[in-house]
Amino acid sequence: MRARLRENATACGFTVIEVLVAVSVIAILIAVMLPSISLVQESARRMVCASNTRQIGLGLHMFSNDNRDLLPPSVYLPRTVLPNRAQAGPQPELMTTVRTGEQDGFAPRRWGQWDGIGLLYKMDYLSAAPDIYYCPSHQGTHSLERYQEDWDADGTSEIISNYQFRGVGPNDEQRLYRIRANAAILTDTMRSFEDLNHAKGFNVLQAGLSVAWSEGVGSQEVIQLLLRGNDEGGNGSGSKSNLILQAWSSLDGDEDSSKDEPESD
């Protein structure tokens, strides 16, 4: 009886070779599926990023409606830099900053150290969720976790977001209604090549409130510009500013295909 049970157990069991073959097949299937899983995850993160971009866009439009059609001011723009920093000129590469730190040398204004799209948080247009300012795909050093405790309205430390604010239109126009609808006014961070949110493209907010995913020639030009800035050192504020200005031009929609611009007053 025992011998028969042992024979049956042996007949129902698996050989070492069969187990190894099964493990190999499973490993191959996992290897085949992993890229697809990664693509699905990145697509989901990209959609969250697009939602963040649109919510910031809504905040910009509400701010503009309440402030004589103007976009939020920034100390890094030529028209709004403070006197003690006027000599530095425009610094569009720093327009991911939503709150300047005390060490930056900017005197507090009526809204404190908040700047650019950070004013949307300070002035209760986007106050409910600081995570709106951070892309879930971001792999750089400026993550939500790094700044989570700093999103205190009474704080004074510097806060950097994952979204680049242009602050003006292609012709330095600050009134939102005068900017052509398909001009880019906000996109994923362009602070440095290492800080890119997505490897292949950008979520771009246009002045008309549309959010478009760009991974064509324009976005590739931006990536190459940022990479070139790294190769050249990218430390001079003038050279970095020029790179960012070129990048914005690459992300702008075709001017010929846009609606007629509003007439001047």
**pLDDT tens-digit map of 26-41:** 777 666 666 655 667 8
Is there a domain that residue 144 lies in? Answer: yes
Question: How far is CA 132 from each of CA 135, 151, 187, rounded to the nearest angstrom?
Answer: 8, 12, 13
Is there a domain that residue 29 lies in? Answer: no
- Total domain count, the chain: 1
pLDDT of residue 85: 46
Is there a domain that residue 192 lies in? Answer: yes
**pLDDT tens-digit map of 164-176:** 999 999 988 999 9
Is there a domain that residue 21 lies in? Answer: no
Half-sphere exposure for 81 (CA within 13 Å, toward CB): 17
Residues spanned by the domain of 234: 41-256
**pLDDT tens-digit map of 200-218:** 899 999 999 999 999 887 7
Is there a domain that residue 23 lies in? Answer: no
Is there a domain that residue 175 lies in? Answer: yes
**Start-to-end C-alpha separation, the chain:** 103
pLDDT less than 50: residues of the chain: 5, 9, 80-87, 236, 259-265
What stretch of H or E contains 40? Answer: helix 16-66
The SS3 call for residue 97 is: strand
Q: What is the DSSP string of 153-207?
A: TT--S-EE-SEEE--S-TTS--BGGGS-TTSEEEEE--S-GGG-S-SS-EEEEET
Is there a domain that residue 26 lies in? Answer: no
Question: How far is CA 248 from each of CA 27, 76, 101, 118, rounded to the nearest angstrom?
Answer: 45, 16, 26, 20
Q: Which long-range contacts (CB under 8 A, 24 or more apart) does 141-145 make?
A: 141/194, 141/195, 142/96, 142/189, 142/191, 142/195
Q: Note the pTM of the prediction, 2 decimals.
A: 0.78
Is there a domain that residue 243 lies in? Answer: yes
